[in-house]
A = this chain, B = another copy of it.
C-alpha cells in the first residue's frame, strides 16, 4: 500500500501546502507546530512521504510538495472546503463550527460524495470563511492576498476571507460584522503595531481590532 495516502499523511500535505504558500520550503518545525505534534515525529513522516514521491526534502533545509503531492493536497483541501460549505448551507451549521466536523469528514468522504455535495449547493467556489474551493481538476486561485495590516488609514477594502478556524475567533469576527464580503474603511491605524480602527457600517461607531486579528483578515482593496 505504498501508494495510498493515510489520513495523517493528508494532514501533513495540507500543512506543507499552506506553509509553502509563503514562498519558502516548509520547515520541519513549522509543520510540527501547525499539526500540534513533536518535530521529531515530523522527520519520520517526511521520510515516508518522500518515499511515496509526494514531497521533496532536503535535510536541514526544508520540504516542498512534488506535483503529485500538490495534487493530493488540493484534493484534500477541496474536500474540506466543499464539506464546510455543504454543512453550512445544506445542514444549517454555524460558520464557526464547520471546520472541526470537516476536518474529520475530509478523510472519510469519497470524491463522489464531495461532488454530490458541491452539486447540491450549486458548485460554490468559496467556503464559509471565504477561502477558494479548488476545482475537481485541482485548480485554485492562488493570488496572494493582502491583509488589513497592508492597508493605510483612509483606504477602503472588502473582506475576502478569515485565515483562521478557531470558533471563538470566528464568532468574534462575526460579532464585529466582519464576515467575508463586508466592505470596510480603515479609519485609523495606531503606530507601533497598535490597534486598527475600522468603519464597518456607515453612520456607526468604528470598531477597533488588534494587529494579530487584522493580520488574519484577508482583503482586497477597493478603488475609490
Contacts and interface: CB of A to CB of B under 8 A. Distances in A.
A113 B92 CA distance: 10
A113 B90 contact: no
B108 A104 contact: yes
A116 B104 contact: no
Interface in A103-147: 104-105, 107-110, 112-113, 116-117, 120
A101 B107 contact: no
A150 to B, nearest CB: 37
B113 A91 contact: yes
Contacts of A101: 109-110, 112-113
Interface residues of A, number: 17
Contacts of A91: 113, 116-117, 120
A172 interface: no
A111 B211 CA distance: 37
A123 to B, nearest CB: 14
Contacts of A109: 101, 104-105
A86 to B, nearest CB: 9
Contacts of A112: 101
A103 B91 CA distance: 21
Nearest to A106: B108
Given A87-B113, A90-B90, A90-B120, 19 more contacts: A91-B113, A91-B116, A91-B117, A91-B120, A92-B116, A93-B116, A101-B109, A101-B110, A101-B112, A101-B113, A104-B108, A104-B109, A104-B110, A105-B105, A105-B108, A105-B109, A105-B113, A107-B108, A108-B108
Interface of A: 87, 90-93, 101, 104-105, 107-110, 112-113, 116-117, 120
22 contacts: A87-B113, A90-B90, A90-B120, A91-B113, A91-B116, A91-B117, A91-B120, A92-B116, A93-B116, A101-B109, A101-B110, A101-B112, A101-B113, A104-B108, A104-B109, A104-B110, A105-B105, A105-B108, A105-B109, A105-B113, A107-B108, A108-B108
